[in-house]
Amino acid sequence: MKENYILLKDNIKIPRLGQGTWFIGDNKAREKDEIESIRLGIELGMTLIDTAEMYGSGASERLIGKAIKGYDRDKLFLVSKVYPHNAGRNNIFNSCENSLKRLNVDYLDLYLLHWRGSIPLKETVECMEELISQGKIKSWGVSNFDTDDMEELWSVAKGSHCVINQVLYHLGSRGIEYDLIPWMKEHNVPVMAYSPLAQGGSLRRGLLKNKAVQEIAQNRGISPVQVLLAFVLSQDNMIAIPKSGKPEHTRENAEVANITLKEEELKMLDKEFPAPNYKTPLDII
CA distance 216 to 264: 10
Question: In angstroms, what is the C-alpha Rg of the chain?
Answer: 18
CATH classification (class only), 5-199+235-261: alpha beta
Mean pLDDT of 220-242: 97
| Catalytic pick among 55, 107, 111, 194 | 55
CA distance 181 to 145: 11
pLDDT digits (tens, 9 = 90+) for 248-257: 999 999 999 9
pLDDT digits (tens, 9 = 90+) for 137-161: 999 999 999 999 999 999 999 999 9
**Amino acid present at 198:** A
- Using CA atoms, how far residue 7 sits from 19, 115, 197, in Å, is 18, 24, 24
pLDDT band at residue 199, thresholds of 50, 70 and 90?
Answer: confident
Q: What is the pLDDT of residue 46?
A: 97
Of 136, 146, 26, the C-alpha closest to 82 is 136
Residue 280 has pLDDT above 50, yes or no: yes
CA distance 212 to 207: 9
Q: What is the pLDDT of residue 204?
A: 85
Structural domain boundaries of the chain? 5-199+235-261
pLDDT digits (tens, 9 = 90+) for 20-60: 999 888 899 999 999 999 999 999 999 999 999 999 999 99
Q: Which residues contact 199 (CB under 8 A, 6 or more apart)?
A: 285
**Is 83 considered catalytic here?**
no
Mean pLDDT of 105-128: 98
* Neighbouring-strand partners of residue 111: 80, 140
Q: What is the pLDDT of residue 3?
A: 74
Q: What is the pLDDT of residue 1?
A: 45
CA distance 200 to 265: 24
**Amino acid present at 171:** L
Give buried/exposed letters for 178-193 (b at 16+ CB in 10 A, else e).
eebbebbeeeebbbbb
Residue 71 has pLDDT above 50, yes or no: yes
SS3 of residue 23 by DSSP: coil
Q: Is 127 exposed, middle or buried (0-12, 13-18, 19+ CB in 10 A)?
A: buried
CA distance 243 to 143: 17
CA distance 88 to 122: 9
Of 143, 73, 85, 152, the C-alpha closest to 109 is 73
Residue 2 has pLDDT above 70, yes or no: no
